[in-house]
Structure 1
Amino acid sequence: MQFLWSTLTVRNMEESLAFYQEVVGLKLMNRMKNGVDTELAFLGDGETQVELLYHPTKETADPIGKGISLGFATNNLDQMLSFVQERGLGVEGPFSPNPMIKFFYVTDPNGLKIQFVERH
């Protein structure tokens, strides 16, 4: 079985697209409307994708679990840390539980924790 994507219900499509394209660096693969009350956007590069789901007729998105995070690899954690701090994003970390890995978290516009990871 192959994992295809994670679906995130978002409060604001434009804000979420900007975050995942500009901060995370994901490429917009497809964006479409499904009737008048649903918009979808698929982002990624390769096999695994992130799907953003927006319902403009709903007031807010469903709350995202606090124990869930999405992890993305970076080649230079210090550079990525500076990049997100320049954008005014709050940072949790960095952490290095062992010499082989360093990471930190930011929160996306919908309250989901995003982890940036550098492996050695």
Structure 2
Amino acid sequence: MHMKHVTLRVKNLEQSIKFYEMITGLTVHRRFNADLAEIAFMTNGEGETEMELLQVPQGQTFEGKGMFICFKTDKLDEMHQIAKNRGLNPSPIQYPGDETNYFYVYDPDGVSIQLRTFPN
């Protein structure tokens, strides 16, 4: 079984798209309006799991409590510096002793995003 997509309800679609493009390298695969909603599907490649960003006026958004989304990166130090330079207040880089390193940063709606390196 393959996970097709994860949906995040967002307050500001443009702001969220810019954040995920910058921090994760995801790009908009498709974008459209459906009734009152505006939707953007972001991915890092054909056939990969997508992130659906869903903006519904007066709709509820997820405020990021109790979960985080992890993205694998080979550019941890560079991404940490970019997050600092953009005023995103990233956590310090963590070294848990399992051959991985990571840091956290919050998206515009408070969802905790983890960027992490993994051994080859």
TM over 0.5: yes
Q: Which runs of no fewer than 5 residues in structure 1 stay unpaired?
A: none
**Aligned residues: CA RMSD:** 1.4
Q: What is the distance in 1 between the residues matched to 2:98 and 2:2?
A: 31
| Larger strand percent | 1
Q: What is the distance in 2 between the residues matched to 1:42 and 1:62?
A: 17
Deviations 1:73-117 (A, max 9, x none): 111211111111111101123111114100000000000000000
Instruction: Provide TM-score, normalisation by structure 1.
Output: 0.90
Per the TM alignment, residue 64 of structure 1 is displaced from its structure 2 partner at its CA by 2.9
Q: Which runs of no fewer than 5 residues in structure 2 stay unpaired?
A: none
Corresponding position of 2:49? 48
1:64 alignment partner, SS class: coil
Instruction: Provide TM-score, normalisation by structure 2.
Output: 0.90
Contact 2:12-2:55 within 8 A present in 1 as well: yes
Q: What is the distance in 2 between the residues matched to 1:113 and 1:42?
A: 19
Q: What is the distance in 2 between the residues matched to 1:26 and 1:72?
A: 10
1:111 alignment partner, SS class: coil
